[in-house]
């Protein structure tokens, strides 16, 4: 695995903090009704993305996930200003403002969404891997899904075919403890989700996903296996989400103490502690990072605020290909 160095830790700290603050800003502007619809935040799960990006080949490896999807494209290189604009429904967004919070997408950056149907992205991830194998592109797809999605039928059909066809895909279950308000233990007898891989004779295992190093190590092994043509891996990344499922969640299914317990394990605090313990940065340098992050978030908000909404015609242009809109009596103005 690529060495985890001082530079890695500093990058992790800045990136993870930015993702956290980006999400916090979205929560704030959501309340101001600048963002409509649903809003699912990634707070607490940042070590997964940081670890994954450390070991992916960013030129060709792909990523696909569910609706908790704002920060992954940013990690892959999408301009965060455009991600925020997408959430605002603005024309400068990644999908011209037509996708919204659950559908960030950038093929150019190997990010294939952003999917609102729970478990819908699982077969799509295998399909991306099938295409890469078929066209001999030597690329691997990381398919992320939640603990709730792991109980969808699509998972089982996909695992069966992926292992049978030796597809270059890594299934990464982000087990954050809950599917909306339903705990893992409420929906299944076995709570060790990684064991589902055993039923398909697929390499599988649990990972402490509050630590980016642990995530990177597990994913590095899985990605290497996939690239060598040895097929898929099924990982359970044990994590936690600090905020509600989406913005309208009274969180009656858990206690404040439980959240506080996991906040003790906070992945960003862990990375910062390593930086401080190893003296990778002075307090002034850390303050400078914090300021850069804050300014960058403000820039995103300003960009989204100042961007225009799409023209009404865009609605038709993205649905109909023909110039003359044959199904409509009048061409919309």
Ligand X SMILES: Cc1ncc(C[n+]2csc(CCOP(=O)(O)OP(=O)(O)O)c2C)c(N)n1
Query: Residue numbers of the site for ligand X (CB under 6 A)?
Result: 66, 68, 116-118, 146-149, 176, 178-180, 245
Instruction: Say if CB 232 and CB 276 are below 8 A apart.
Output: no
68, interface contact from ligand X, Mg ion, none, CB < 5-8 Å by kind: ligand X
Query: Closer to ligand X at the Cβ: 118 or 126?
Result: 118
180, interface contact from Mg ion, ligand X, none, CB < 5-8 Å by kind: ligand X
70, interface contact from ligand X, Mg ion, none, CB < 5-8 Å by kind: none
Place of tokens 């890695």: 8
Transcribe 255-291 into DSSP letters: -HHHHHHHHTT-HHHHHHHHHHHTT-S-HHHHHHHHH
CB of 154 to ligand X, least distance (A): 9
Query: Closer to ligand X at the Cβ: 62 or 68?
Result: 68
DSSP H or E run through 12: helix 6-31
Query: Closer to Mg ion at the Cβ: 33 or 248?
Result: 248
- Within residues 116-175, the interface with Mg ion by CB under 5 A covers 146-147
117, interface contact from Mg ion, ligand X, none, CB < 5-8 Å by kind: ligand X
Q: How far apart are CA 52 and CA 87, in angstroms?
A: 24
Q: How far apart are CA 160 and CA 166, in angstroms?
A: 10
Radius of gyration of the chain (CA): 20
Q: Which of 72, 96, 110, 176 binds Mg ion (CB under 5 A)?
A: 176
Residue 236, interface with Mg ion (CB under 5 A)? no
Dihedral sign for Cα 276, 280, 284, 285, please.
negative
Q: Which residues lie below 8 Å from residue 113, measured CB to CB, with a gap of 6+?
A: 64, 65, 69, 103, 104, 105, 121, 124
Residue nearest to ligand X (CB): 146
CB of 178 to Mg ion, least distance (A): 5
CB of 149 to ligand X, least distance (A): 4
Query: Closer to Mg ion at the Cβ: 97 or 197?
Result: 197
Query: Closer to ligand X at the Cβ: 116 or 205?
Result: 116
Query: Closer to ligand X at the Cβ: 155 or 304?
Result: 155
Task: Rounding to the nearest 10 degrees, give the CA dihedral for residues 134, 161, 234, 263.
Answer: 100
CB of 6 to ligand X, least distance (A): 32
Within 10 angstroms of residue 37's Cβ, the number of other Cβ atoms is: 13
Task: At 145, list the tokens.
Answer: 């899904």
Alpha helices in 171-313 (DSSP H): 184-187, 212-227, 256-263, 267-277, 283-306
CB of 14 to Mg ion, least distance (A): 27
Size of the site for Mg ion (CB under 5 A): 4
CB of 267 to ligand X, least distance (A): 16
133, interface contact from Mg ion, ligand X, none, CB < 5-8 Å by kind: none
Applying CB under 5 A, which residues contact Mg ion? 146-147, 176, 179
């Amino acid at each position: 695995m690529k060495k985890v160095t001082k530079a890695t830790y500093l990058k992790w700290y800045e990136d993870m903090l930015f993702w956290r603050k980006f999400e916090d800003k979205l929560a704030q502007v959501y309340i101001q009704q600048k963002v409509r619809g649903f809003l699912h935040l990634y707070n607490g799960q940042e070590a997964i993305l940081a670890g994954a990006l450390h070991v992916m080949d960013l030129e060709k490896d792909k990523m696909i996930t569910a609706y908790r999807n704002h920060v992954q494209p940013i990690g892959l290189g999408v301009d965060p200003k455009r991600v925020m604009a997408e959430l605002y429904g603005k024309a400068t967004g990644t999908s011209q403002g037509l996708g919204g919070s659950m559908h960030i997408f950038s093929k150019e950056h190997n990010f294939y969404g952003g999917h609102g149907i729970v478990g819908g992205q699982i077969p799509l991830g295998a399909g991306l891997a099938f295409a890469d194998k078929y066209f001999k592109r030597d690329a691997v797809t990381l398919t992320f899904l939640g603990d709730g999605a792991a109980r969808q039928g699509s998972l089982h059909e996909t695992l069966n075919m992926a292992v049978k066809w030796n597809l270059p895909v890594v299934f990464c279950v982000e087990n954050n403890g809950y599917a909306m308000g339903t705990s893992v233990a409420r929906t299944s007898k076995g709570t060790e989700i990684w064991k589902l891989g055993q039923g398909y004779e697929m390499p599988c295992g649990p990972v402490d996903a509050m630590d980016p190093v642990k995530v990177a190590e597990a994913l590095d092994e899985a990605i290497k296996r996939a690239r060598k043509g040895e097929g898929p891996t099924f990982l359970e990344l044990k994590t936690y989400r600090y905020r509600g499922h989406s913005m309208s969640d009274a969180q009656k299914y858990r206690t404040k103490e439980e959240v506080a317990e996991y906040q003790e394990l906070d992945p960003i605090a862990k990375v910062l502690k390593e930086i401080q313990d190893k003296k990778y940065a002075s307090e002034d340098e850390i303050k400078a990072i914090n300021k850069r992050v804050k300014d960058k978030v403000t820039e995103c908000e300003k960009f989204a605020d100042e961007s225009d909404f799409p023209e009404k015609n865009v609605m038709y242009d993205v649905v109909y290909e023909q110039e003359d809109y044959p199904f409509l009596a009048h061409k919309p103005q």
